[in-house]
Amino acid sequence: MKDRDIHEVISILEDETSKWTETALTAVAEQTRRDPFRILIGTVLSLRTKDETTAAACERLFALAEEPEAMAALPEESVDRAIYPVGFHATKARNILEICRILVNEYQGIVPDDIDTLITLPGVGRKTANLVVTIGYGKPGICVDVHVHRISNRWGYIATKNPDRSEFALREKLPSEYWIRYNDLLVMYGQNLCKPVSPFCSRCRLSSFCDRVDVGKHR
């Protein structure tokens, strides 16, 4: 894909994804008026977990507590039970409680708004940090998960080996007006059409822009 094509590609993505259900984290953001704390916890829960499972776990956990102080006071067993069956639920329960304690003790219960500080929290990587900064605070950032990494490379827009490298490659070339919504668009596209294995290329309006890097079988 040529660099200049990205504007048309984004326009097509926005049109196509309007047909599909929004991601679980977008739903959390809208329901909580973009509360950085609940976006942070929701993103931690979403790692290695399907959207529908994440959404249900968020609903159960936030019914118990919506703020760091209240959540830090919950027994670990209660948090674990509320978030089950998200992936690695026991580890996430411990990390969530530790995150809450750190927020209360070191940041007056306020979620930091910069990536470098956020990634020092237990279980928080660059994907999570970028989502909190962009969705929670409306600041520039590019969240790169497996869908964003895979599709951006599949198009031939970037050529990288892992999501962290993809983030920095995209920071170099993706126009800044697309940074915040790029993740949401590609996650929905990856979940519904541009599948990891055997993508639906025959139904894809972006096929003329896509180099199909590493695509073997497709539909």
Closest CA to 97 of 120, 78, 117: 78
Active-site choice (35, 51, 145, 184): 145
Long-range contact set of residues 84-91: C-beta below 8 Å, sequence gap at least 24: 84/57, 85/53, 86/45, 86/46, 86/49, 86/53, 86/54, 86/57, 87/47, 87/48, 87/49, 88/47, 88/48, 91/123
Is 51 in the active site?
no
With beta carbons less than 8 A apart as the criterion, state whether 219 and 26 touch.
Answer: no
Is 80 in the active site?
no
Active-site choice (35, 92, 127, 184): 127
With beta carbons less than 8 A apart as the criterion, state whether 141 and 179 touch.
Answer: yes
> What residues are labeled active site?
127, 145
